[in-house]
Amino acid sequence: MLPETDCRNFTAYNHRWSTPSKWSQGVQNHWYSYDYGLAHFISFTAETDYYNSPEKSFEYDIKGDETAPKENETYVTNSGPFGYINGSYKVNENYEQWQWLKADLAAVNRTKTPWVFVYAHRPMYSTEVSSYQANMRNAWEKMFLDYKVDAYLSG
């Protein structure tokens, strides 16, 4: 059995799964894409790396004149973000994952891969309404519609 801290900071996940990511150091297992046949598949993290995600960034907890903790002070509890935030953590467009996802969708060659499927762990819609679902829709829904994503899969 793994210590609880290994699960909170995705250590177990990162050491067990290898993914085809070519993005920033440290996020290889959290967002990536690939083509298979006539389809383009995109995997991203619905756990962190967008505003009000279930695993919020440390900046969310900073009050007044406090500063963000150093990496060596937070290693065992750090659940994200795994990419940078360029500006306010309250703006989805400032997250590296958001920027990567938009660039990836923009680069899809629909004549070669006419189908685009995006998947993540958490659902954006469900009969079991959770508070994070509205936050996910705020972060991703417009982009998926603008780029005509064919299906979003979760679970």
Q: What is the pLDDT along the chain (155 residues), one digit of tens a residue?
A: 333 434 456 666 666 766 666 544 445 567 888 999 999 999 998 888 888 887 766 666 666 776 666 655 554 455 666 778 889 889 999 998 999 999 999 999 999 999 999 999 889 988 877 778 999 999 999 999 999 999 999 98
Give the Å distances, CA to CA, from 35 to 3, 63, 66, 113, 130: 36, 44, 44, 7, 32
| Distance of alpha carbon 83 from alpha carbon 95, whole angstroms | 7
pLDDT computed for residue 2 by the predictor: 36
pLDDT computed for residue 31 by the predictor: 84
Provide the strand spans (E) within 44-150.
115-120
Q: What is the pTM of this model?
A: 0.77
For 13, list phi and psi in degrees, rounded to 5.
-60, -50
pLDDT computed for residue 4 by the predictor: 40
